[in-house]
Amino acid sequence: MSLQPDLMLWLALAPFVAALFAPALVRRIGSSAGWVLAIVPAALFLMFVTMVPQIAAGDTVSYGVDWAPSFAVRYSHLIDGLSLTFALLVTGIGTFIVIYAGGYLSGHHQQGRFLAFLLLFMGAMLGLVIADDLVSMFVFYELTSITSFLLIGFDHTRAPARRAALQALVVTGSGGLALLAGFILIRVVSGETSVSELFASPDVLRDAALYPAIFVLVILGAFTKSAQVPFHSWLPNAMEAPTPVSAYLHSATMVKAGVFVLMRFSPVLGDTALWETVLPLFGGATFLTGVLLGVRQTDLKQILAYTTVASLGLLVMLTGVGTEYALAGAVLYLVAHALFKGALFMVAGAIDHETGTRDITILGGLLKSMPITFVAAILGCLSMAGLPPMIGFIAKEVLYDGVWEAGGVSAVTVTALVGNALMFALAAAVLIPFFAKPGELPKKPHEAPPSLWLGPIVLGVLALVGAFMIEGTAHSLISPMTSAIAGEAVELHLHLWPTGLYPPVILTMITIALGIVFFIFFKTLRLLMVDLLETVGWGPDVGFDQLMRGLVKGSHALTKRLQSGAMQQYVTLTFVILAAVLLLPIAVDGLPDFRFVGEVDQPFDLVILGLAVAGLWVVIISKSRLVAIVSLGVQGVMVALIFMLYGAPDLSFTQFMVETLSVVILALVMTRLDLKTVDHRLPADAMKDGVIALACGLGFALVLYNTVQQPFDDRLSQFFLKHAYEIAHGRNVVNVILVDYRALDTLGEISVVMAAGLAILALIRMGPRLKSAVVGPPADRADATRVGAEPSAATIAAERPS
Amino acid sequence: MSTLIFRTIAPYLSALMVLFSVFVLLRGHNEPGGGFIGGLIAASALAIYGIAYGVDVVRRALWVDPNALAGFGLFMAAVDGLSAILAGKPLLTGLWFVPVIFGVEIPLSTVLVFDVGVYFVVVGSLASIALALEESD
């Protein structure tokens, strides 16, 4: 390897740094910033290219640094065939996408933000595919979900974009959480924290009793991310995002993260009956669902989106089949798909950009006005249709080889056949805008600028060159990646042109014939699908809305129950629970024998005790609230005196001040409340409150009593006393603990003081206004006046514990 | 509350309390005291002054908004904690300098700076609450 591992770790984070500078750069030099920013992924791409020979020779490289050593979390890379190929796709396609985004959103007032999001995503995706440590992998996995959310919702003034963004985040984000749970189980079962360590003991997960749980959690993560049925509907909706995002995230890279996870864990989780049943089942269902729903669409981007869903299904299916050639087919198809789908999305974007529409029923005649874009489109469509001489053709040959080898004429083979034939028809449909008779176009079409056609052309040419130089492609990328997925060295010998009439070749011929038939009857097929879907009338997309509505309703109902808005209820509930928490353990465990600890050796003690009790008595009997508050202060001061007499001057000091301030603030609060100066609770209420108060007091007394019964372990105190002056140069141990030994705690505490202060201030200031504000749903309007009295009461509650 | 006696005594009392709070703050590392207690005393001083002369007078006397004071304190404590990292030690480790001025050793430390931060947070937060409560709407 030509670069130091340490350097690699930081260089892989370069897109994040570039994202920081993107907005400023766009402000300075406008949309040409795309060309400048593309240097970052391009450089990374070249860096990964230099590693190809080493990895192709069969090496794997892993290195890293500690991130959170106490949890054995590292930031580490694992470079093998799988991660290298993905890294090349992410950075290579990323380069052209950044250039493309520069042209596509040229003049958009938030282009800087857009490019920043795009680069953030790139950093996350790159981090994910080359991650070795499980936790870092999860972190980057979720980061891709979050950046995808930001990008889909980029046009946040439109409601459909917001909904699509939210849906994508909810679906992929919760899948990510399942993945985290799966990773934690993997760690619990195997004790390993990284992928490379897992590969060293491959059978430990398969043999574990928890294997089914791990399997379900990991595939939940993968299926949501890679839009498998029934989680697929977020992906077509994500087409609300600007086209560069669709091309990059939602076809070439991010949606493959789920497939990546499956491939990554295939050596340690695969090769079981569960794996080989569930993956082909869901993958196959997704494949067929994708192409069938794609037929129904007339929007170019939607067609491409559904074929992406289908392709992801195909990849999952092949990963599940798991034979050598099935895996090789998956790898080839993955690379081919990234190239042609990335290109076709950019073509769709260019068409949209130049004509103002993406509707294939209107578009037409673009062959003359957009010839360069057409070249890119035809290259992409050939590869998508699986026709020679493209890499998509080889991919289809190899995958037919794989499914045939696995089971001859099986459900998987038939699924692959029908799906591919429909894919062929859809690829042909994508070319309609170039040949059909044009309808009423919003804009007069002309060729797109270089930034818009450069990417698709290069990707299309790569798909062509990759196929002609298939021996080299296979040796440097496909074989190493297949080996990484299979978990053993695989050396593939592929060729572009079939050498005989094998079953796969026959399957290809049937596919093409069937595809042509489908295309001839494309319109009929579409109308059929529209009818069918209207008859069904319900899908996961509608289900998602219902789920969200249910969630909001449910939480609203729950909140209404729990948050009544009446201060008395909150306080009552708090103290009842407090009393229960204090008393229940004592009730269960019983009390230790009574033994009088301390002795009353000073006559002062009795006087102080007497005054405290007298203060409390006045609190109980006083009719006036102000008198009660001041009397409560008397009791607090007495406690402070006890602290003083028993050698805790700091504590006593603080208690004095807190007590003084509490009385002052309570009195001030009283003056602001619309309360009668006299307490007039009903006897029954007073009785209830009294019982709760007594229970709390009794609880605290018993807990204290229980505590002092235990032998006192003074090791910590001795340590503090001994070292306070030596280490921390302070004689006041309490203060040394506060500002030195446990300074982090103190920092946290003063943050809380500050935050609580601001919150109380807001409540005081809002007090008068709250009375007119509507709190909660309209039905609760009657309660609003009661809520108005609350803030000051809340002030008391918040102030007391200080 | 604004009786003649109270109004006459309040300025002296407040000034003395603020002075005392600084004294308590500075001696805190070796004798009873520290930023927290000091802050409580200073906040009481401001509250008393406010009850006697009204909130506006206190706000004018303070020059800055008490919340800004609290925020400044929190910032100070946090930055002070980071200084240990610059010195290559774990977060919030105390650093000591003992310069000798006129033959007297004066122990200075980041711990003291941290404690001053605590002082400001407590004064600022509590004073802002007290003053807001004293303000008539």
Q: Would the CB atoms of A661 and B44 count as touching at under 8 Å?
A: yes
pLDDT at residue B136, rounded to an integer: 67
pLDDT at residue A597, rounded to an integer: 58
How far, in Å, CA of A79 to CA of B47, rounded?
65
The per-residue pLDDT for range A400-429, each reduced to its tens digit, is: 988 888 887 888 899 999 999 999 999 998
Which residues 81-120 on chain B approach chain A with CB closer than 8 angstroms? 81, 91-92, 94, 96, 107, 109, 111, 114-115, 117-118
Which residues 4-23 on chain B approach chain A with CB closer than 8 angstroms? none
pLDDT at residue A594, rounded to an integer: 67
Mean pLDDT of A659-687: 80
Burial of A333 (0-12, 13-18, 19+ CB in 10 A): buried
Which distant-in-sequence residues (6+ apart) come within 8 Å of A4 by Cβ? Answer: none
Measured between CA atoms, the residue of chain A closest to residue B28 is: A735
Between A744 and A768, where is the model more confident? A744
pLDDT at residue A499, rounded to an integer: 77
B52 reaches A (C-beta below 8 A): no
Confidence of residue A780 (pLDDT cuts 50, 70, 90): very low
Residue B87: Cβ within 10 Å count: 9
Confidence of residue B97 (pLDDT cuts 50, 70, 90): confident
Mean pLDDT of B64-92: 88
The per-residue pLDDT for range A215-263, each reduced to its tens digit, is: 999 999 999 999 998 898 899 999 988 988 988 988 888 899 999 999 9
Lowest mean pLDDT among A343-357, A663-677, B19-33: A663-677
Burial of A529 (0-12, 13-18, 19+ CB in 10 A): middle
Give me the phi and psi of A19, to 5 degrees please: -60, -35
Asked if residue A4 has pLDDT above 80, the reply is no
Mean pLDDT of B71-79: 93
Q: Write the single-letter amino acid at A698.
A: L
Q: Which of A727, A726, A750, A724 is nearest to A737 (CA)?
A: A724
For chain B, the 3-state helix, strand and coil shares in percent, each to the nearest 5, are 70, 5, 25
Cα end-to-end span (Å), chain B: 18
Asked if residue A462 has pLDDT above 80, the reply is yes
| Partners of residue B130 in chain A, C-beta under 8 Å | 661, 664-665, 668
Q: Would the CB atoms of B111 and A764 count as touching at under 8 Å?
A: no
pLDDT at residue A796, rounded to an integer: 39
| Range A766-773, long-range pairs (CB < 8 A, 24+ positions) | A766/A791, A767/A672, A767/A791, A767/A792, A767/B137, A768/B137
Query: Positive or negative, the Cα torsion across A559, A560, A566, A569?
Result: negative
Q: Which of A729, A750, A751 lies nearest to residue B96, judging by beta carbons?
A: A729
Residue A519: Cβ within 10 Å count: 20
Between A314 and A59, where is the model more confident? A314
| Domain enclosing residue B24, as ranges | 4-134
Q: Would the CB atoms of A729 and B47 count as touching at under 8 Å?
A: no
Give the distance from residue A652's alpha carbon to the nearest chain B alpha carbon, in angstroms. 10
How far, in Å, CA of A289 to CA of A198, rounded?
35
Query: Positive or negative, the Cα torsion across A775, A776, A778, A783?
Result: negative
State both tokens at A173: 């984000």
Q: What is the pTM of this model?
A: 0.73
The per-residue pLDDT for range A528-548, each reduced to its tens digit, is: 888 888 888 888 888 888 999
Lowest mean pLDDT among A252-266, A640-654, A765-779: A765-779
Q: Which of A444, A414, A339, A257 is nearest to A89 (CA)?
A: A339
How far, in Å, CA of A404 to CA of A402, rounded?
5
Beta strands at B96-97 and B108-109: parallel, antiparallel or unpaired: antiparallel
Burial of A602 (0-12, 13-18, 19+ CB in 10 A): exposed
Q: Is the peptide bond before B99 cis (omega within 30 degrees of 0)?
A: no
Q: Which of B109, B114, B133 lies nearest to residue A665, judging by beta carbons?
A: B133
| Mean pLDDT rounded to a whole number for chain A | 86
| Partners of residue A735 in chain B, C-beta under 8 Å | 28-29, 33-34, 115
Q: Would the CB atoms of B94 and A738 count as touching at under 8 Å?
A: no
How far, in Å, CA of A690 to CA of A686, rounded?
6
pLDDT at residue B90, rounded to an integer: 80
Q: Would the CB atoms of B31 and A654 count as touching at under 8 Å?
A: no
The per-residue pLDDT for range A570-599, each reduced to its tens digit, is: 889 999 999 999 999 888 887 766 666 566
Rounded to whole angstroms, what are the CA distances from A433 to A298, A299, A366, A521, A669?
11, 11, 6, 18, 73
Asked if residue A787 has pLDDT above 60, the reply is no
The per-residue pLDDT for range A473-507, each reduced to its tens digit, is: 888 888 999 998 888 888 888 878 877 778 888 88
Beta strands at A61-68 and A73-79: parallel, antiparallel or unpaired: antiparallel
SS3 of residue A194 by DSSP:
strand
Give the distance from residue A796's alpha carbon to the nearest chain B alpha carbon, in angstroms. 11
How far, in Å, CA of A257 to CA of A261, rounded?
6
Angle between helices A743-770 and B110-134 (to 10 degrees): 10
Contact A262, A224 (CB under 8 A): no
Confidence of residue A182 (pLDDT cuts 50, 70, 90): very high
| Partners of residue A721 in chain B, C-beta under 8 Å | none
Between B119 and A686, where is the model more confident? B119
Residues on A contacting B at a C-beta cutoff of 8 Å: 649-650, 653-654, 657-658, 660-661, 664-665, 668-669, 672, 728-732, 734-736, 738-740, 743-744, 746-747, 750-751, 753-754, 756-758, 760-761, 764-765, 767-768, 795, 799
Measured between CA atoms, the residue of chain B closest to residue A672 is: B133
Rounded to whole angstroms, what are the CA distances from A143 to A44, A126, A408, A734?
20, 11, 42, 43
Query: Positive or negative, the Cα torsion across A51, A54, A57, A63?
Result: negative
Confidence of residue A775 (pLDDT cuts 50, 70, 90): very low
Lowest mean pLDDT among A112-121, A213-222, A614-623, B68-77: A614-623
pLDDT at residue A677, rounded to an integer: 67
Asked if residue A789 has pLDDT above 50, the reply is no
Burial of A775 (0-12, 13-18, 19+ CB in 10 A): middle
The per-residue pLDDT for range A141-175, each reduced to its tens digit, is: 999 999 999 999 999 899 999 999 999 999 999 99
Q: Would the CB atoms of A672 and B133 count as touching at under 8 Å?
A: yes
Choose, out of B92, B93, B97, B119, the residue to mutate when testing the contact with A (most A CBs < 10 Å): B92
Q: Write the single-letter amino acid at A102.
A: G
How far, in Å, CA of A141 to CA of A186, rounded?
17
Side-chain-side CA neighbours of residue A150 (13 Å) = 15
How far, in Å, CA of B95 to CA of A370, rounded?
70
CB pairs under 8 A between A and B: 140
Domain count, chain B: 1
pLDDT at residue A502, rounded to an integer: 81
Measured between CA atoms, the residue of chain B closest to residue A670 is: B133
Task: Quote the DSSP letter at residue A389.
Answer: T
pLDDT at residue A93, rounded to an integer: 92
Contact B127, B47 (CB under 8 A): yes
pLDDT at residue A179, rounded to an integer: 95
pLDDT at residue A749, rounded to an integer: 92
pLDDT at residue B137, rounded to an integer: 54
A645 Cα distance to chain centroid: 56
| Partners of residue A658 in chain B, C-beta under 8 Å | 40
Asked if residue A636 has pLDDT above 60, the reply is yes
pLDDT at residue A501, rounded to an integer: 76
How far, in Å, CA of A643 to CA of B91, rounded?
33
Asked if residue A82 has pLDDT above 70, the reply is yes
H/E segment holding residue A41: helix A39-56
Contact A731, A725 (CB under 8 A): yes
Choose, out of A670, A749, A750, the residue to mutate when testing the contact with B (most B CBs < 10 Å): A750
Give the distance from residue B115's alpha carbon to the nearest chain A alpha carbon, in angstroms. 6
Which distant-in-sequence residues (6+ apart) come within 8 Å of A644 by Cβ? Answer: A652
H/E segment holding residue A68: strand A61-68
Q: Would the CB atoms of A739 and B122 count as touching at under 8 Å?
A: no
Confidence of residue A288 (pLDDT cuts 50, 70, 90): very high
State both tokens at A542: 């509608």
Give the distance from residue A76's alpha carbon to the nearest chain B alpha carbon, in angstroms. 24
How far, in Å, CA of A477 to CA of B13, rounded?
82
pLDDT at residue A339, rounded to an integer: 92
B80 reaches A (C-beta below 8 A): no
How far, in Å, CA of A661 to CA of A181, rounded?
48
The per-residue pLDDT for range A32-49, each reduced to its tens digit, is: 888 999 999 999 999 999
Q: Which of A664, A608, A656 is nearest to A636 (CA)?
A: A656
Asked if residue A55 has pLDDT above 70, the reply is yes
| Partners of residue B47 in chain A, C-beta under 8 Å | 661, 664-665
Between A95 and A435, where is the model more confident? A95
Give the distance from residue B64's alpha carbon to the nearest chain A alpha carbon, in angstroms. 16
Task: Quote the DSSP letter at residue A240.
Answer: G
State both tokens at A567: 């201060």
